[in-house]
Amino acid sequence: MRYRHPERHQIRVDGVLTALGHPVRLAAVRVLDEGGEHNCGSVLVTLGIPAKSTMTHHWRVLRESGVIFQEPSGRENLLRLRRPDLDARYPGLLDAILAGAATDAAADVAIE
């Protein structure tokens, strides 16, 4: 199975913002921002999500918006953040969103 990924010039800011506007997808992108390729299972474990089927829709939204690459590898899919493409299209956008997410996460912990 091969997945469709938009070319860099096809990535749209509204799609990126929609994809990153969901807390589960944003958390997944924060994991992927650590760099390298991750298999779906390792991201699920990090996020505490028990079933792969739960993330199928989220991976598709992230992939089709141009936020991630998703490549089949045996029985798994490998994921990686399309940071170079996102930074080229919208300089500073991903950094601002991830910094805001980190600030929100820290505030949530402080409140608890």
When pLDDT is averaged across residues 25-54 and rounded to a whole number, the result is 89
- Residues 27/67, Cβ–Cβ less than 8 Å: no
Question: What are the extents of the domains in the chain?
Answer: 8-102
Which pLDDT does position 102 carry in this prediction?
79
18 to 9, 26, 35, 44: CA distances (angstroms):
18, 10, 22, 21
Q: What is the CATH number of domain 8-102?
A: 1.10.10.10
Residues 54 and 87: their CA atoms lie apart, in Å, by: 29
Mean pLDDT of the residues in the chain: 90
Please report the DSSP string for 54-68 in residue order: HHHHHHHHHHHTTSE
- Residues 25/62, Cβ–Cβ less than 8 Å: yes
Which pLDDT does position 10 carry in this prediction?
98
Which pLDDT does position 90 carry in this prediction?
98
**pTM of the shown model:** 0.88
Please state whether 66 falls in left (phi above 0), alpha (psi between -120 and 50) or beta. Answer: left
**Which is more confidently placed, 3 or 111?**
3
Write the CB contacts of 81 (distance below 8 Å, at least 6 apart in sequence).
Answer: 29, 32, 33, 35, 67, 68
Tens of pLDDT, residue by residue over 56-104, are 999 999 999 999 999 998 888 999 999 999 999 999 999 999 999 877 6
